[in-house]
Structure 1
Amino acid sequence: MSSGIHTASSGIRTDQIAAAAAPPPPGHEVRRTALDGLPEITDPLSVSPVDARTLSTSLFKRLDALDEGTPEYSYVRNTLVELNLSLVKFAAQRFRNRAEPMEDIVQVGTIGLIKAINRFDVDRGVEFASFALPTIVGEIKRSFRDTSWAVQVPRRLQELRIDLAKARDAMEQHLGRLPTAPELAERLGITEAEVVEGEQAANGYVARSLDWPLDDDEGSPNAVTRTLGEEDPAFDIVESVESLKPLIAGLGDRDRLILSLRFGEELTQSEIGARLGLSQMHVSRLLARICSTLRTALLDDAQPRAASGSG
């Protein structure tokens, strides 16, 4: 690949991604047995996100009934990958300002999609998109983390660096001073040698120039790790809210009112129905339609369109 993103640490090779994203043309008998009466999807990439969710639910149930490793299992799983690639593209848009090519980010995100498909349990009643997006985003973030080190170190030490940084900050607030290596070791349940190893590994995260002045203000112990920040999860919420604003503005007056009553005033469906003169069941259907409309628009990355307020 052309960028720093790589897939070796994930346990899934690039050729596996290609195989999953481009299902081979199985024979008619294999397709018929694999689908077991379900409609054949000739072009999964052209299916709308709404239809993809419905079809995915049926395919997951079918996948659960097939034996892993069979041609039928591979065909159904590969179809699920193609049906849900829009989730990867949607997640990848969050990282469009990165230096890495979007193609590489999508490829890494596809690994997360494959992992989500492998782990998904349709019997839990959770929508696949809600289950898969955190896995896809996590895979992309993990790839950025793994490739942002100036010197590549084992994953164990990368995670130890993070644990040490968090423990050091928490203990410094409590103690009013920097904790010692024995104190850190006791806090994390590791040996002092592992603490030292983790601190040494942290130096590989950022490589300073040989011309960097030695008498700078950050010359205190572990200055390098003190310059490292962590991504604030609140940014994700802000980004989601900003993406929803124009879409909500395009809804009808009644739809916006229902959203405000449900998620702003936190009224129950029965309370909303009483206020608007509607039945609880009607309010439930309206909320489902509104949320589906917003979700589809987000996944399609479409411009906001006015939606009818009738129901």
Structure 2
Amino acid sequence: MTTVRARGKAQAKRPSAKHPHDDAPDTTAEFQVLADLPDGPEKEALRQQVVQAWIPMAERLARQFRNRGESLEDLEQVAALGLVKAVIRYDPARGTAFESFAVPTVVGEVKRHFRDHMWGLHVPRRVQELRNRVRTAHRELSHSLDGRGPDVQEIAEHTGLTEQEVRVGLEALDSYTPLSLDAELPGSEDGYALLDTLGDQDAGYDLVIDREALKPKLSKLPERERQILYMRFFCDMTQSCIAEQLGISQMHVSRLISRTCASLCDQVMADAN
């Protein structure tokens, strides 16, 4: 075992072979040593060395996702995390080149970051996948349709999706980043924003509820109390006019109105509770 480790370390010190990609070094020897080393500080140090060697590739992959609402620095950090996972999980005994294993791992980590952290609205994963497929198809077809955008049927034929799935994906295109309520609406010349199109709470609904709650209570009032309330609140008569018409004092009218309204309020609140 000591001989194998020593040979591996010696190989790791030799210059790396030139790879078609400048950011893809030859770390075959290092991975062979990692496969033989037990867990411990020596293995962790060599693993960090391999990660550092492949960091340029991870950064190159991260740059492919620029201009999508996330800073390049954050994308590079996510890609580096994916690279670390690839280095830990890679098994050279399977015969697959590390780059072939690492690229989908790093790209998948970046895509998961967008899926889990960058959506302004909660959208099911299936809808997110439809959105991505529809967006990609729309971009590809736009280059071959004389500049016009593809319709639903053309996108469905290109992707193999149903037309209903394409419509769901199209609707989700605008769900990635929600529109600010203060954003000026397209075509508006006077700063008219989405917030201006929203209605306020209508107090009339509360008035309807109050009236419906009072109806059965009013019907049980004595005739004189019902008449006084009708004259005061529906005919908008003053207490003096009511007193004169009924032949009683204004003070008596005032006491009757106050007592009746308080009683009705107590009854409605009791029913509500």
Whether the TM-score (by the shorter chain) exceeds 0.5 is no
The structure whose Rg is larger is 2
**TM-score (structure 2 length as normaliser):** 0.43
**TM-score (structure 1 length as normaliser):** 0.39
Higher relative contact order (CA 8 A, sep 6+): 1
